[in-house]
Structure 1
Amino acid sequence: MTRITTTRLADGRELIYFDDAGSTDRHPDSLVDRRELPGRAEPGEVRYDALSGEWVAVAAHRQTRTHLPPADQCPICPTTNANPSEIPAPDYDVVVFENRFPSLGPVNGLIPQQPGWGTTAPASGRCEVVAFTPGHTGSFSALGWPRARTVIDAWAHRTEALSSLPGIQQVFPFENRGPEIGVTLHHPHGQIYAYPYIPPRSAAIASAAGVHWDASGGTQSLSSALLAAERNDGRRMVLEGEHFSAYVPFAARWPLEVHLVPHRQVPDFAALTGAERDELAHVYPELLTRLDALYPTETPYIAAWHQAPVGPALRRAGHLHLQLTSPRRAADKLKFLAGSEAAVGAFINDTTPESVAERLRAVAAVGTAASSPEGAPA
């Protein structure tokens, strides 16, 4: 079992250590943040866009956040005398803590339910950072099975905890990898946003899922139907396991796009069984390894974990899945979202889903070797 230890940073933010199974109790010194920090800033605000019916977070205080510091000043490396970082311990496995420069929070509560032009509210919610490893360099794909399994437990723990906060409607774990994506820290890490509203893309997915659920008489999720169709077709399948399968979707939007779906309909990470988490700790790093094997250099990506909304009306049809996307359309070319995509949301893909799936299958031997670290369960 992953060992969980909670403490508070000098300014009151929560920090949680998730130590690998079999680890010993944390030393009390690792729970004390000895820095002198100013008090937390007031939250930003959310503004209602009456033209689109969407909420926009305004977080001007984030302009001063840390941006690509040198390794000896990294804020999520373990603390040293020369670098008293966000993590007080001299070593750790996985750590989750409240972002010092959050887009949402630290307040929690409901936002206006009948907004119109000019409606604003405090940016309630929560933003957390997930440090995957104490090492400043590397990637999720290279963590090894035990550490990947610990991260999955952390995602599950935080999903359950954040979903219970007042006013939270959507919990979204994700990872931005690569400067081309806009990362502000080189250290391998992800984030979790707990929104006081359902973001537009999540709302569209939830709506389509609800329509399918109702049409099936409440017997099948939309993600289950899509996975069944892709497995039956076969041309866009990338890998298949006992509990998870991955495919390039029929109507992929991005040059590189892969969806990883649990075979069983589960709403979120917290609902995964131990066996499902075990397999996910294999197949997810393998998928990332295959993505990097396509080109001589690491591929930038966004790993977006879509979970069911918190509210029961949309949750019943929800189905956890990963949408792994990259703007890389060639070894030396990126896709930029220009007029059609950025302005009206009409995507034009520069690759065919079938060819991308074929290439990802072709590097299976590389991915499989990297996803079987010593000590992983059979």
Structure 2
Amino acid sequence: MTAATSTTLADGRELIYFDDGAMAKPHPERDRRPLLPRSDEDTGEIRFDALTGDWVAVATRRQTRTYLPPANQCPLCPSTAENLSEIPGPNYDVAVFENRFPSLGPALGMAPSTPGWGTSGTGFGRCEVVSFTSDHTGSFGSLPPQRARTVIDAWAARTEALSAMPGIRQVFPFENRGEEIGVTLHHPHGQIYAYPYLPPRAAVMAGAARRFFDAADGRLTLTGSILGSERSAGDRMIAEGRHFSAYVPFAAHWPLEVHLTPHRQVADIAGLTGPERDELASMYLDLLGRLDNLYATPTPYIAAWHQAPVDDYFRPASYLHLQLTSPRRSADKLKFLAGSEAAMGAFINDSTPERAASALRDAGAHSKASASTGGRTQ
């Protein structure tokens, strides 16, 4: 188990250190910045779009968030006398803290249950930043396997804690990598959003999973059935391990899209066993290495961990999996969401999933890490 130590920042936000290994390291330093105390009154609002059934968060304070600062002013690097950052201690392993400029929260509570046109509510929820390392350069893909495992344990611990908070219906860990995606900090990091409602894509996926589950009388899950079909077909598979498989989905939306799925149904990262987390660390690093081996420059991506909703209705049918997507369609071209995708949600893929899978198989990286957990590449 990864050791964790909780402390408080100057304005009252929580900061949690996750240390490599089972022994906690000392973290005695305190935040010395003259920050004003944060209040639940700082929480924004959510507004209901009656045309789509979506909630939209309104968080005007995000306009002042930090944007691509120089390295000596990075808020995720350890604090120094010249740069009092979000993390007061010296070198750390992994740090998780409440976002200073959150889209949701810090107040917690329930979203309106029967919304209609003109319905608004408090933007309840919680947004956290996950800093993968104290090193300013690099990426998740350059982490050693032990550190990747520590991040996974941090995701698991925060998923469990956030899921238990009042009003939370969905916990979403994710990472944006690359300025092309909209990253505002170069330091290797991700985020976790805890929503008071089911976000649109989560709601669609949960509904499809529940309908399939009901039609199968609870004997099969939708994601498990898809995983079995992809493993049988084989032409879109990228890697298979003892506990996880990675493949390009049959109807991939993006030029580069990979799903990493456990072989057994599990609701969220917190439900993974130790051996499963070990293999997940190595296979995830392998996938990110393949993505970066495709071209001469690093590939931008969004890593989205789709977990089961917190509620009891959708949870039995839901199935943890990662969706790793990139808009990069060639060495010097990106796919932009224009009219059809942005306005209608109707995606058009310029390549085939089979071709993308073949390229990713050929771009094999971190083969030793994959082999060390019993995994095999296709």
Q: TM-score, normalised by structure 2?
A: 0.96
Cα RMSD between the aligned structures?
A: 1.2
1:244 equivalent in structure 2: 244
- Equivalent-residue separation in structure 1 for 2:284 and 2:313 (angstroms): 30
- Equivalent-residue separation in structure 1 for 2:27 and 2:345 (angstroms): 51
Aligned-residue offset at 1:377: 6.8
Structure 2: gaps spanning 5 or more residues: none
1:149 equivalent in structure 2: 149
Aligned-residue offset at 1:69: 0.2
Written as runs of structure 1 = structure 2, the 5 A alignment for 1:1-378 is 1-29=1-29, 32-40=30-38, 42-364=42-364, 366-369=365-368
Q: Note the alpha carbon deviations across 1:253-292, whole angstroms, 9 max, x for none.
A: 0000000000010000110001100110110010010000
Name the count of aligned residue pairs. Answer: 372
Say if 2:241 and 2:373, in contact at 8 Å, map to a contact too: no
- Equivalent-residue separation in structure 2 for 1:331 and 1:164 (angstroms): 44
- The 10-residue stretch of structure 1 (205-214 or 173-182) with the greater mean CA deviation from structure 2: 205-214
Say if 1:142 and 1:370, in contact at 8 Å, map to a contact too: no
Aligned-residue offset at 1:299: 0.2
Say if 2:267 and 2:319, in contact at 8 Å, map to a contact too: yes
For 2:316, the aligned partner's letter is R
Q: TM-score, normalised by structure 1?
A: 0.96
Say if 2:282 and 2:369, in contact at 8 Å, map to a contact too: no
Say if 2:4 and 2:24, in contact at 8 Å, map to a contact too: no
Aligned-residue offset at 1:122: 1.1
For 1:281, the aligned partner's letter is A
SS of structure 2 residue aligned to 1:115: coil
Aligned-residue offset at 1:217: 1.1
Structure 1: gaps spanning 5 or more residues: none
Aligned-residue offset at 1:116: 1.1
Aligned-residue offset at 1:91: 1.2
Q: CA 1:288–1:26 in structure 2 vs 1: closer, same or farther (change >3 Å)?
A: same
SS of structure 2 residue aligned to 1:28: coil
- Equivalent-residue separation in structure 2 for 1:54 and 1:332 (angstroms): 35
- Equivalent-residue separation in structure 2 for 1:248 and 1:242 (angstroms): 18
Q: Note the alpha carbon deviations across 1:271-316, whole angstroms, 9 max, x for none.
A: 0001100110110010010000000000000000000000010001
For 2:120, the aligned partner's letter is T
SS of structure 2 residue aligned to 1:103: coil
For 1:368, the aligned partner's letter is S
- Equivalent-residue separation in structure 1 for 2:306 and 2:75 (angstroms): 28
